[in-house]
Structure 1
Amino acid sequence: MQVIPVMDLLAGQVVRAVRGDRSAYRPVRSELCDGSEPLVVARALLDLTASETLYIADLDALNGGALQTGVLAALLSALPQTTIWLDGGFRGAREFAALARSLGTAAQRVTPVFGSESLASADAARACFIDPQRAILSLDRRGDQLLDPAACWASDALWPDRVIVMTLERVGAFAGPDLETFAAIRRRAPRASLIGAGGIRDEADLAAAAAAGADAWLVASALHDRRLIPQASSR
């Protein structure tokens, strides 16, 4: 099971997720490092997990503001071996294309995550996944509510090769992963690479997620609290 470390960025700082309630996010306090400066936190997470991938949620953009392009560019420059999966609140492919142009060649190491909560329409979703290997779809939900103006949850024919199943109310909640929803998506997409998000507390949760069909899981809080120390770690 691959553990992919997560950073939520708000106003240039790494913040701690609280049940997907972004108004409650505050600068992270981590047992892995001091402070909430993005590069310091990123290096601590990557070192702990021995991951070559870092997931970033740009909360400024997700809340309707501008992408934190300067922070992203600095991370790409300082971490040349790292691929960043970026959820930048993209409403469609053109928004990511504009970001890629601003980043230059470093954009090759940025994989766009198109969240169902952000995609503007079904047509926009189809345009994002013309190349099914390039982009990632995040199927977002909060409780029983599907966050999905583009009807991505129902349109499995457009799903790309990699799909995130994001249960927002379990992010940062230590409530355990939503394995029932995850298993249902696995049945609908038996050949996709499926990544879960939310709820992981420990190794037992990771094992249960793998049994439900997960190829990887996005994790932050359990890493910062040292509840989970992946076996691949050098520590």
Structure 2
Amino acid sequence: MTSFLLVPVIDLLGGQVVRAVRGQRHLYRPIESPLCRGSEPLAVASALCERAASDTLYVADLDALTGRDAQTPLLARLLAARPGLRVWLDGGFNDLASARATLAGLGEHAVRVRPVFGTESFSSAEAFDECFPEGAAAGTPLPEALLSLDRRQETPMDPAGAWTQPARWPRELIVMTLDRVGADAGPDLDTLAAVQARSPQAGLIGAGGIRSKADLEAAQAAGARGWLVASALHDLKLRAR
């Protein structure tokens, strides 16, 4: 699986790592994993990165995603403890200012963080347009930013209309099917193909549903550049070659 990115994921809620189940956040509970004891974020992150042989970690700050204070001090401690780590951070950013504020709070560690803007979180069409202006000539306020195209129950989660504006999509996209997260249901390759058809030049990172090496191979064959994975790593169904 040459050049395929296997990106481990931690979901942070109240200072602990929780197990994600179909995006139903009210059901999330502290992780219990054969990889490590307890749900302390640094221990879980270290175990996942070792299992996946990855120096990139996707972090979903569920406190911020559900309207509470961002867990910026916890993230700063995680980055300080692992100097070689790069983090893709979904901090529930609803506009450009919120992402910049979180990055500023991380101080010197911010250079190792890529903000992830989820379509579920944008406060308005104007906020989306500010983060991802149309056309390369317009430039991008945060060049490293990722856009996550979020979807649940076959419907885009998209108050800002981002799904309908592929001309504004950045060079790398996350295709997030929340129904498949933690569901042991297989990857959503149909949605991946639909996004690829609309943005052929984009590098696509899938999310949700991976159960095995065979699923990863199918995702790569379908055009994915990589996949976000948590449950299959915790359940010892998957490891890096």
Q: Which of 11, 29, 34 in structure 1 is aligned with 2:32?
A: 29
Aligned position for 1:87: 90
How does 1:29-178 map onto structure 2 within 5 Å? 29-129=32-132, 130-131=139-140, 133-178=143-188
Q: Within 2, Cα distance between the matches of 1:188 and 1:144?
A: 17
Aligned position for 2:203: 193
The residue identity in structure 1 corresponding to 2:237 is R
Identity %: 58
The residue identity in structure 1 corresponding to 2:199 is A
Q: Within 1, Cα distance between the matches of 2:97 and 2:124?
A: 13
Aligned position for 1:229: 239
Aligned position for 2:7: 4
Contact 1:133–1:161 at 8 Å: present in 2 too? Answer: no
User: Could you list the runs of 5+ residues in structure 2 that have no partner in the other structure?
Assistant: 133-138
SS at match of 1:153: helix
Q: Within 2, Cα distance between the matches of 1:26 and 1:144?
A: 25
Aligned position for 2:135: none
Q: Within 2, Cα distance between the matches of 1:79 and 1:127?
A: 32
The alignment's C-alpha RMSD in Å is 1.0
The residue identity in structure 2 corresponding to 1:50 is A
Cα displacement (A) at 1:145: 2.0
Cα displacement (A) at 1:134: 1.4
Q: Within 1, Cα distance between the matches of 2:147 and 2:222?
A: 19
Aligned position for 1:183: 193
User: Could you list the runs of 5+ residues in structure 1 that have no partner in the other structure?
Assistant: none
Q: Within 2, Cα distance between the matches of 1:229 and 1:98?
A: 35
TM score, norm. by length of structure 1 = 0.96
Q: Which of 2, 16, 19 in structure 2 is aligned with 1:16?
A: 19
Q: Within 1, Cα distance between the matches of 2:129 and 2:222?
A: 28
